[in-house]
Chains A and B, each alone.
Chain A
Amino acid sequence: MAEERLFRSASGVPITLRRRQHSASCRELAVRGPRLQLRSLSAATSAVWLAAYGLFALSENSMVLSAAIFITLIGLIIYLHFVKIDQESLLVIGSLGIQVTSSYASGKESTVFIEMGRVKDVVINEAIHMQKVIYYLCILLQDPEDPQGVSEVVPLFQSSKPRLDCLIEVYKSCQEILEQRKTAPQSN
């Protein structure tokens, strides 16, 4: 069962939240940002090449042109493979753990799986960033020595930065599954 809703990110860009329920204790929540626009790509490339032509006209050295082409290609590859995140998803499997995946524009996926035993809670935090107050969802990890303590905070959806309404939806879905683990041990 899947559903999609449109939201806005903290900077006003439209994003979509897709929720899928695979089973009673397994949910996948994916936030997809806007794709790379042809407009901005051509604008950046033209700017770099105009600058290169300007330098060539000044210095009469053709190495400038080949260097510009090289830089554009390398820069594009680095941007697509390391910087531009298309989709960030959260897979919550009750009793196994939480998996956070970021998919880049080049197709690369970087995944982190956090076991349920290490997860203390999933909360929405507020932070002051420059002149704004932003909300972000994060996973609190348990400190093995201190049952009340938090050893690490793992922030989620760092690049798509959804607003509070989207975060509340994600938070509710996660908490439904996390609550199951509190009730489950008694039944065993």
Chain B
Amino acid sequence: MVLKVFFPLCCSSADSGILIGRWISEQSSAVVLAVVHFPFIPVQVKQYLGEVQRVTKVSVSVLGSWSNSKQEKEESLSEFLEDLGTIFCHEPWIQISKEGDSKFWSCSTLQKHSKNPQEEEIILVYYDQRKVMLSHLHPPLDTAGQGAEDASKLSAIFDTVARSQVLFMTDRYDEGPVKLTHWQSDGVEASIIVELLKQASVPACMLLTFLLSLVSGICRSRVLKFWPLSFLWSKLSTCEQLGHRLQHLQVISSSKKAQNQNQLMRKANIFVSLLIDVALGILLMSWLYRKNRIGHLADTLIPVADHVAEELQDLLQWLMGAPAGLKMNRALDQVLGRFFLYHIHLWISYIHLLSPFIEMILWYVGLSACLGLTVALCILSDIIALLTFHIYCFYVYGARLYCLKIYGLSSLWRLFRGKKWNVLRQRVDSCSYDLDQLFIGTLLFTILLFLLPTTALYYLVFTLLRLLVVIVQGLIRLLVDLIDSLPLYSLILRLCRSYRLAAGVKFRVLEQQDGKPLRLLMQINPLSYGGVVQMYRLPTYSCYPRDSWASLCKKLFLGELIYPWKHKGDKQN
């Protein structure tokens, strides 16, 4: 099999020494992690490697020798390097030598116990150690389900480099028995800002946890559990969003360290999302409160509500006349129309009663936009729901009336045909009725049938209005969900440090020379933006419609009330 040597780019200019790394025999590949320089004592090197193996659980061993001769090839050095092969017995013993500044290195192996003495081909793959160590390989989605038993070759290599972190902690200024060259040998990388943040995060987390426990204690108190209030809280989407954000804060402020990459990214995504949300909310708030825009908004709210009511009144007058040329039943028409008109009149009176307080209420409610843009959007959605409450009421009245009528009609139609619905057996059975039952039943059936168009028209009009309001609320909810679930930190990471999120690798063939091994450069192939969003999406609390299109149409036809959005807490029907 072809022998593959993964050589770190940072060691290309290192002085002569021996190569240490991991030998993966099933793939016949050698992953070189560092170069140990002369002078060294073999016993100490073996001790050091044993310690590293114990800590990292990676089977690090001496793989071969590396000679970087600035002048012509030194014969004695090459013999010395071959003799080293007997001290650190490793099968096969890899010898790489570089002459001067030549790009083309010669690579050979010494096999003492080989069955066939033929020369096997060697491929030299260069890799950037820092990038490979920091990156996280995302497996292709179809193999993500299977276990890591047949872990791909590449993930073995990434794993080896990532877990050997402790090997890279010693730099050349350390006074130790072994002198190594690797990506950090010029000085261990660290960032003051990151260290300061780490120190500051512990007390910040504790403070946050304390505050959150206070807030959740208040929320769980008995005062807020009385029936009208609890019903109100469950219906308002603002409270749901606030609860969702509270959960997020609890995730961030928990003192447990993140176990794996996914949890770390999740925490980071939630943190950045909250930060951006609050920043946008404060921006919105500063825009609203400047030039007294809140006052203007409050001033236009009442006229808008009046306008909506007037439009509804016009609509009802139209329905009470001859809408679209249809002929309605005059008496029923007048009854329904007057009933709804009176409702609108009541609604307008209530709104006018509230009008002096609107500005103050709006002013204080607007302050809560500093909790986040999502909260502000939820408040907007709730205000729309409250302002169009009369439309909701009309829809419920119309739907109930229509529903009653449809059930009455279907039951009387069965009577007309001499059948009956058997509740016990849940099926239609034949039944013999008395004459007077049949007579009254047929009479009622006829009445209901001829009154159907009127009721159906009212139902249709109010259902359309209700659907319009639902669509507007749904769009706002979609926007809120988008802001909630977008993994901003992962996207920024993909933009700025694309090697951290790897979908795979790509190879580039470098210049070749006959007689020398094949030279390849292994680079990291970053995950696509769509892949990043799919992988690191934050879960949201609801939003998908409860019914499919077919069942929705059926419900509309039968007059059953529709509640398009399913909430996570609702039990399944």
Contacts and interface: CB of A to CB of B under 8 A. Distances in A.
A binds B: yes
A185 to B, nearest CB: 7
Given A96-B4, A184-B1, A91 B507 contact: yes
A23 B2 CA distance: 12
B446 interface: no
A126 B324 CA distance: 59
Interface in A116-167: 117-118, 144, 151-152
B123 A185 contact: no
A187 B1 contact: yes
Contacts of B28: 95, 188
B143 A144 contact: yes
B15 to A, nearest CB: 29
A22 B458 CA distance: 79
Contacts of A185: 1
A24 B505 CA distance: 22
Interface in A60-87: none
Contacts of A4: none
Interface in A1-57: 22-26, 28
B147 to A, nearest CB: 10
B121 A112 contact: no
Contacts of A151: 142
Contact of B150 (A113, A144, A184): A144
Contacts of B543: none
Nearest to B505: A113
Nearest to B145: A144
Contacts of B345: none
Nearest to B514: A23
Interface in B153-200: 153-154
Given A117-B152, A184-B1, A93 B121 contact: no
A111 B123 contact: no
A93 B153 contact: no
A113 B1 contact: no
B507 A93 contact: yes
B152 A115 contact: yes
Contacts of B525: 111-113
Interface string B491-528: 00000000000001111010010000110100001000
A50 B273 CA distance: 46
B86 interface: no
B2 A152 contact: no
Contacts of A188: 1, 28
A152 B509 contact: no
Contact of B504 (A26, A113, A144, A187): A113
B146 interface: yes
Contacts of A26: 123, 509, 518
Nearest to B125: A96
B123 A93 contact: yes
Contacts of B146: 144
B178 to A, nearest CB: 32
The interface centre, meaning the residue of A25, A96, A99 with most chain B CB atoms within 10 A of its CB, is: A96
Contacts of B505: 113
B259 interface: no
B141 to A, nearest CB: 11
Contacts of A144: 143, 146, 150
Contacts of A91: 507, 509
Interface in B1-53: 1-2, 4, 28
Interface of A: 22-26, 28, 91, 93-96, 99, 101, 111-113, 115, 117-118, 144, 151-152, 184-185, 187-188
Closest 5 A-B residue pairs measured CB to CB?
A23-B518, A111-B506, A95-B2, A188-B1, A184-B1
